[in-house]
Structures are given as structure tokens and as C-alpha cells.
Amino acid sequence: MAMVQVQHNQQQQQQRPPPSASSSTYVAPAVPSWLQAQLQYLRTHSPIPLKVENLRSGARNSCILDRFSVLIPCCLSLIKWEVVYNGNDTRVAPDIIFGDGDNTFQPLTDTSDLSPCHFLRDWTPSDPTRLLKLILVIRVLYLQYQRKKVEEVKDERVRFEMSTMGAIQGLEMCVMATSDGMEEVIFSVPLVLEVDSPYSATTAQAPSTLLNDISLQVKFPVQKGQSIGSAPQLKLVAPEAMKDVFDVDDVKLPEWPEHMCLVEYMPTLQLTIQQQVREARASIGLRRNFMESLFPFFGRPLEADMLYYRKISILTSSGVFTFLIHFVLPIQFPKMQPAFTLQSSQHFDARGKPLVSRPYQDYPWSPRWETSEMAQRIFEFVAEECIAFKRHCNDSLSQR
């Protein structure tokens, strides 16, 4: 849902009328209804996250938005294709311009059952499913084309990996040119994780499949078909939405010794990640307990993240001074202590914004305490600190 929202925003940005001095009778550019329906279908029904951006016009008076870029996930990277419709003649099927290095990828010459020609031949703009089908079928051909390119790489290490990994479900591979004139062979392997641990029961709302979607991206640098011999670049990739629960960037990957190969490396990595994912799931439950322990001291919260328990805001007071406390709970809770800021509800700056304290992260803390003790210690710290904050607020007001 969040992603769809973002895309809508982008589209609205694109729809802003571009400055045009030439035409006296200016017509605001708009997406025609048939294309709107196709894009809507693409956003809601795509099995892979496709992103449409940079909607623009090909008409002389630039009033019909009929071409755009699509970002397509391939080997855990994004490739950009341009889809070109002809707004003046909707019967004409769209055309696609591929990336710079793919000048030999020509899906229209494909004669197999997958050939996109079937879709293009009897194109009807009124069918909203066509665009998505076309893109998906060409993506399959593109992955086949990249696989063939990888098979042509005359590097022994890459060939060995191909022979051992080739049959893995969901494996994608491609050859990309890098900026320094070299090439790299990229493999993307989905990790097989068993996340149905007893801890997961604590979060019924969190989608259970969310933590299952981690993949490993491996880049072997090659030069003219020969490997350099250095260790490959390894990177874990997870959906953006997972960041609230588990950040793959925090994972320290196991070392890649010499003569290591992917088949050997993967089980070790999967075990490591599985352990960390379990901890992350357990952390959700602990964060929830911590939040509940805050209530007896500070009162009921104004706002709380009830999905992953990462944020909570509480309105509280000390004497006549009323203020808000915003807590941010880290993924590594309780190893890392929460950060919080105070926000006055009585003092405002010149522009009418409430005064906010510095973020506090240096108060007494131990991960071994009970959550009630954590809450009590924070309460005591805040009771002292709010006086200093109030003084600071009064000072800054009197200075004006």
C-alpha cells in the first residue's frame, strides 16, 4: 500500500504542466484514460515490484502523456526500459527501448511460444492487462538472454558456479558492464529461511512472509572473459518494507575464503541470517512489552506503531509544564537503547513550531533489566531533564 501511495505522488509530480512558451492555447497534459487503466492494472497486479516514472508527452502540443520509463527488477538491480505509446494513434501497440548495453536483445525476432509478437499483433488499447503481460513476457525473454550471455563468459569460476547453481529455483543472472570498462557477472539467489519460530507468534499482524524475502546478490568481476581472482562482491537485498523489522545492511556477512564457491557458502549464510531474523522477530515482542511498561509512568500514548513497535509518542506533564515524548526504538532493542526527544506544547519558535530538545540516548540503560525497570529509569531521567528543558525553552523565548 505504501508503495502504491509513493507512485501516485510521483505521478502527480510528473503531471505538473511543464513550462511551455510556444503554445498560446495551453492544454494541461494528461494521461489518457486507456493508458491510466493500463498503468493502474500494472501497479496493482504485478507480481514483481514495477515502478513507472517520468511520464511525458510525445505530441507536438505535449498534451497527451504517452511515454514513460519502467524500472524492472532484474538480478536484484533495477533496469530501466522506456515504453513509447503513440497518443495520437491509440491503435498502435507500444514500443520498448532497452538499456544501453542491451543492443543485441531483440525480443521481436524471437519465434518461440514466448514471443511478444502475439500481444503486439492484435493490440487493443481497451484491454488494461496487455501492458503488464507484455512487460512480463519480455522480462522472461530478457532473463533468458542474460543467462545466455553468462553462459558465453569464458571464465572458469563463473562456469563452475553455473554448473553447480544453474538449477536453483529463482536464480537470476546477468552480465553488466561497469564504469571502468570491466564486466561483472551477477547472480541473485533467494535465501531459503525457516522463520516459523515460536517467537513469531507474538506478532500476528506482521505478514509472516515478510521476513522470507531476502536474497543474496553476488558479483564476480571479469575482464575479457577472465576472472580477476578477487573475492566476489556480496550483498544482501531485502524489500524496503523489511527495514522496520530487520535491516539486511546490519548483517555482517561470513568471510569468503579463497577457493570458496556459492554452493558451499550459501548454507553457512542461511544459518547466520536465520538466527538474526529470529532475534529480530523476538525483538518485536520485547519492544511491545517495553511500550506497555511505559504507560503506568507516562500515561496513555498519543500515537504508537502497532505493527513493529518502532515509534511511540506520549503526552505527559511535570507540574504545569506539559510536553510530548517521542520514542524511537531500534531494531536491535534491547541491545541498543531507545532514543527519545522532548517537545514542548507551551513554547513555540518565531515560525510557530514547537521547541524540541536534543535526542537523548545517553541515559542509564541495561539490556538485562526488566522492561518495567527500563521504563522507571527513563521516567526518573525525564523528570530531572524536563526541568532543564523547560528552562532552555523559557530562555530562548525571552531572548527574542
Q: How far is the CB of 257 from another protein (least distance, A)?
A: 41
Binder to another protein among 11, 38, 52, 67 (CB under 8 A)?
A: 67
DSSP codes joined into one string, 148-196: HHHHT---HHHHHHHHHHTT-TT-EEEEEE-TTS-EEEEEEEE------
Cβ neighbours of residue 246 closer than 8 Å, sequence gap 6 or more: 211, 238, 276, 277, 280, 331
Binder to another protein among 11, 107, 132, 219 (CB under 8 A)?
A: 107
Q: How far is the CB of 116 from another protein (least distance, A)?
A: 8
93 interacts with another protein by CB under 8 A: yes
Q: Which is nearer to another protein, 106 or 317 (CB)?
A: 106
Distances, alpha carbon 255 to alpha carbons 232, 258, 272, in Å: 11, 10, 12
Cβ neighbours of residue 228 closer than 8 Å, sequence gap 6 or more: 221, 222
Q: Which amino acid is at 249?
A: D
Q: Which is nearer to another protein, 118 or 335 (CB)?
A: 118
Cβ neighbours of residue 373 closer than 8 Å, sequence gap 6 or more: none
Q: Please tell me whether residue 242 adopts helix, strand or coil conformation.
A: helix
103 interacts with another protein by CB under 8 A: yes
Binder to another protein among 9, 33, 95, 208 (CB under 8 A)?
A: 95
Q: Which is nearer to another protein, 140 or 307 (CB)?
A: 140
**Vertex 2 angle, CA 284 and 186, to 5°:** 85
Evaluate whether 373 touches 292 at the Cβ level (below 8 Å). Answer: no
Which x/- pattern, by CB under 8 A, does the window 252-291 give for another protein? ----------------------------------------
Q: Which amino acid is at 23?
A: S
Q: Is the peptide bond before 239 cis (omega within 30 degrees of 0)?
A: no
Evaluate whether 310 touches 287 at the Cβ level (below 8 Å). Answer: yes
Q: Which is nearer to another protein, 12 or 22 (CB)?
A: 22
Q: How far is the CB of 107 from another protein (least distance, A)?
A: 6
Q: How far is the CB of 124 from another protein (least distance, A)?
A: 12
Please tell me the distance from the alpha carbon of residue 372 to that of residue 20, in angstroms, as a whole number.
63
86 interacts with another protein by CB under 8 A: yes
Q: How far is the CB of 74 from another protein (least distance, A)?
A: 16
CA 165: distance to chain centroid? 27
Which x/- pattern, by CB under 8 A, does the window 113-142 give for another protein? ----x--xx-x-------------------
169 interacts with another protein by CB under 8 A: no
Beta-ladder partners of 172:
188
Please tell me the distance from the alpha carbon of residue 170 to that of residue 149, in angstroms, as a whole number.
18
Q: How far is the CB of 34 from another protein (least distance, A)?
A: 15
62 interacts with another protein by CB under 8 A: yes
Q: Which is nearer to another protein, 60 or 368 (CB)?
A: 60
Q: How far is the CB of 33 from another protein (least distance, A)?
A: 18
20 interacts with another protein by CB under 8 A: yes
Q: Which is nearer to another protein, 118 or 358 (CB)?
A: 118
Residues 42-61 that bind another protein (CB under 8 A): 56-61
Torsion of CA 147, 153, 157, 160, to 10 degrees: 50
97 interacts with another protein by CB under 8 A: yes
User: What does the binding site for another protein look like in residue numbers (CB under 8 A)?
Assistant: 18-21, 56-62, 66-67, 82, 84, 86-89, 92-93, 95-98, 100, 103-109, 117, 120-121, 123
